[in-house]
Amino acid sequence: MAFVLTRINVGDYDAWKPLFDQDAPGARRAAKGYRIFRNTEDPGEVFVLVEFESADEAKTARERLVASAVLDRFQDKTGPTVVEVAEAVGS
C-alpha cells in the first residue's frame, strides 16, 4: 500500500472541491480511496491523501498529476509526494 500526499492552500474550498471531484488528470483512476483534511485555523489549507495498492500505482498517479500542471496554479503547496506507512499505532 502507498499513498500520494499533497498539501495545498486552495483559498476557497467550496470553489476548489468540484474541480477536485472531476479528477481531470486521472490521478485517482487506480486509487482505492482518498481523504481530504482541512486546517482548522485556515480552512483553505487542505491535505489530500490518496491511497493506492502499490508504490508503482502511486508513482504513476503522481506523474499524471504533475504532468497535468493542475497544481501549478497554487503557489502555496507541498507535493505531491509518494509515501508509505512507516508505523501505525492503534485504530
Cα–Cα distance, 91 to 5 (Å, whole number)? 20
| Calpha distance 49→19 (Å, rounded) | 16
Alpha carbons within 13 A on the beta-carbon side of 37 = 10
pTM: 0.92
Q: Which three cell numbers stand for residue 59?
A: 508513482
Q: What is the pLDDT of residues 22-76, one digit of tens each?
A: 999 999 999 999 999 999 999 999 999 999 999 999 999 999 999 999 999 999 9
Question: Domain 2-83: which topology?
Answer: Alpha-Beta Plaits (3.30.70)
